[in-house]
Structure 1
Amino acid sequence: MMFLNALLVSLLHVFLSSTSLVRAQGQLTAAEDIATQYSLTTSTSIPFPSATLSSADAANFIQDLSNDWSLSKGKIQNLPNDTDFVPDPFPNSPTPGLAPSNTSGPVLQVTYPAGSLHLNGGTQLYSLWNTSDGSVFNSMLLSYELAFDAGFDWVKGGKLPGLRGGPDPDGCSGGNQPNGSDCFSTRMMWRTDGQGEVYAYIPTPNNLCNDNGIICNDDGFGESIDRGKFSFVAGQWNRITMLVQMNNPPSIANGNLKLYYNDVLAISQVNLQYRSALSVNAGGLYLSTFFGGNDQSWAPPNTTHTYFRNFRLWGSSAASNLTGSTVSAATSTHEVAWLVGIICLALGMGAVGF
């Protein structure tokens, strides 16, 4: 009888453990399943070399037309020499969540020299996803893995890859605000202590800046979405999966944003306006990463690195079909700052810092 009781207890423990495991796994969603859920039937991946490459050769590989990175203007926009392809720095630290598609081969290393900001550390490029039939993407899913050096000093924050689109390949970053018909961008960002967020350059109608989880930065730069809903971990791999669906029609704020961290849904915003004109679509990978911020209080005290691998994208011509509010004619926060600045200059009062 004692043996039978022990056996029953053991079986019960196994059952409860299995149930908990299934329940936990139910919270995990692979990028492929997200693509299926949103009918994103077209896919591509960013090719990496089969051997390690130092900075000059790494930049040549990325910019070589035959390697299909499809760079905007045919080149890395900022600091190509801060890129290398190196061996996996954390081979014994698999990415949490579901199994990645590829963990072999070199990974992309980005260097941030001590004291550097966006003009002298990190890198930036725009990989356009051009379809052979000339169709455009109104929904796009990006998935990639990244790692930070062990002991990474987060300082005040920095930018990480995301998505961008629209006919203007240069706006929607660095304080260049969107007008709704030129561009949008949705990069990732780390903040103090590794807090994560989506950092977006998008219109902000319908009092979006007053919504919970939305921080419209007073300096006139981008909008922080759901800061601190998750935190990056240094010294291991992390996985980011981002879904962007254009608002449709452009006069309705029903744009969809989903962010999965290590395959668990961390951020969901469904009331966004990415565009006010059909000229803005999802264009591709915006690999933009640096410390900052725009002053030295953001800069790293020591040279440090991030690492990237498994850049994959899925897309569809279909936009969001969610319900949403009609975009009001109310002036956005950034437009107010611009108008006040113009008025002050006209009155000889000098520019006002917003």
Structure 2
Amino acid sequence: MAFLTNTFQTFWIAFLSTHLTYGATLWSWSHESQNKDIIAVLKEGFHMTDYAGKFGLGADDSLTLAEDPQNPGQWVLRVFYAQGSYSHSGKHRGAQFYGTPSEITSHSYTTLTLEYEVYFPSSFSWVKGGKLPGLWGGTRDCSGGRIKETCFSTRLMWRTEGDGEVYAYVTHSQNPDFDTWCARYGNSSIATYMKVYCDPTYGVEIGTGAWRFQHERWHHIKQEVRLNAEPGQNGYIKVWVDGKAEVHVTEVRMRSNTNFDIDGLFFSTFFGGSDSTWASPHDTYSYFRNFKITTDTADISHSELVG
């Protein structure tokens, strides 16, 4: 694919080599060797310091420990989604909490890398889409259609047929303004530009279909985020799936002020979407393991513009 040479070379998909700089591991959780109370695991292993923004936790709801579907004897996170559940339904609609490791929150990190693995069994139906974990910082308000200048979040999503994307809540103070910044993509007739979509009241969808999740395999997710150092500067979001670089977003302002940094893991998963057209058609699960946050960075090379 030929590169475009105008000033709008912002969103990239990369397929080939990367140059990795190893840093420090600030936090990790892989699995448990036996079944445990999930609240204890979240407090001790994931540094969930309070219940702000949480739902779906515990034996009588969605998030518990369960044996790894491919490695019996290892207990991993399992999320139950009940038939008919979606973001605005009641119990068993998924799970959400914020992890705040002290090694991260006691410092000011503007560049961090999150890694984890996710597994979808054969019973999992993609429907229209749903959320997956990412990084966050600032106040716990950047989700659910709340656009704030005091926070950011970079969750992922699965979409129809298992297509993946980044689903980012970032400042609307883009260059030269949010509508213009988004219009170059959302109103474009160029197919590759249509892989980026801005909704003025929800998150920005980036790289839709850049990869596709599959059933009955562990997918390795790696997300590197850099916050802009100053309000008018740019940051970036990079994503690798199963070791292949998929998304490299540059020239995006992650925050409009420097009063917050990266604070940790935003564990968030549910079907939706805000209405029942997103709902799971039957009872199903997802599994998660091998979490870590590091100061590793990687330069993506041999990139291909997607819009």
For the superposition of Structure 1 and Structure 2, which TM-score range results when normalised by the shorter chain?
0.7 to 0.9
Residue 128 (1) aligns with residue 100 (2): yes
Change (3 A) 1:76 1:273: closer
SS in 1 for 2:42: helix
Moved over 3 A (4+): 26-29
* Residue 47 to residue 229, structure 1, CA distance change in 2 (3 Å): closer
Structure number with the higher helix fraction is 1
Aligned residue among 154, 160, 166 for 2:126:
154
Distance (whole Å) between structure 1 residues aligned to residue 251 and residue 77 of structure 2: 35
Partners of 2:21 and 2:292 in 1: CA distance: 11
What is the match of residue 289 of structure 1? 269
Match of 2:213 in 1: 232
1:303 aligns with one of 273, 283, 307: 283
* Aligned mates of 2:53, 2:257 — CA distance in 1: 28
Match of residue 217 from structure 1: 199
Task: Label 1:132 to 1:192 Cα distance change in 2 as closer, same or farther (>3 A).
Answer: closer
1:11 aligns with: none
Which residue of structure 2 lines up, in the alignment, with residue 245 of structure 1?
226
Q: If you compute each CA radius of gyration, which structure gives the higher value, 1 or 2?
A: 1
For normalisation by structure 1, the TM-score amounts to 0.69
Letter in 2 for 1:174: G
Question: Could you give the per-residue CA deviations for residues 8-42 of structure 1, whole angstroms, max 9, x where no partner exists?
Answer: xxxxxxxxxxxxxxxxxx9476xxx7452xxx435
Say whether 1:59 aligns with 2:39: yes
Distance 2:105 2:197 in 1: 39
Partner of 2:77: 108
Which position in structure 2 is the counterpart of 1:269?
249
Q: Secondary structure at the match of 2:68?
A: coil
What is the identity, as a one-letter code, of the residue corresponding to 2:198? Answer: C
CA distance in 1, matches of 2:146, 2:259: 18
Alignment partner of 1:208 is 2:181:
yes
- The 5 Å alignment of 1:1-354 reads 27=16, 34-36=20-22, 40-46=23-29, 48-53=31-36, 57-63=37-43, 67-73=44-50, 77-80=54-57, 81-91=61-71, 105-119=74-88, 120=90, 121-131=93-103, 134-166=106-138, 168-169=139-140, 171-179=141-149, 182-204=150-172, 205-206=174-175, 207-209=180-182, 210-211=184-185, 212=193, 213-217=195-199, 220-252=201-233, 254-315=234-295
Q: Residues 157 and 189 of structure 1 are in contact (CA less than 8 Å); yes or no, is this contact kept in structure 2? A: yes
1:86-110 CA deviation, whole Å, 9 max, x = no partner? 111134xxxxxxxxxxx97211100
Asked if 1 retains the 8 angstrom alpha-carbon contact of 2:115 and 2:292, the reply is: yes
Give the TM-score, by structure 2 length. Answer: 0.79
Task: Count residues in correspondence.
Answer: 264
The SS at the match of 1:184 is strand
The equivalent of 2:7 in structure 1 is none
What is the one-letter code of the residue matched to 1:229? A
Look up the SS of the partner of 2:277 in the other structure: helix
Structure 1 residues 58 and 41, CA gap change in structure 2 (3 angstroms): closer
Amino acid corresponding to residue 54 of structure 2 in structure 1: Q
Q: For residues 105 and 209 of structure 2, what CA distance do their matches in structure 1 show?
A: 40
Contact 1:42/1:314, CA 8 A, preserved across alignment: yes
Residue 153 of structure 1, CA deviation:
0.6
Distance 2:119 2:45 in 1: 24
Ranked by relative contact order (alpha carbons within 8 Å, sequence separation 6 or more), the top structure is 2
Cα distance change on mapping 1:133 and 1:177 into 2, 3 Å: closer
CA distance in 2, matches of 1:192, 1:87: 27
CA contact (8 A) 2:27 2:103 kept: no
Aligned 8 A contact 2:133 2:267 in 1: yes
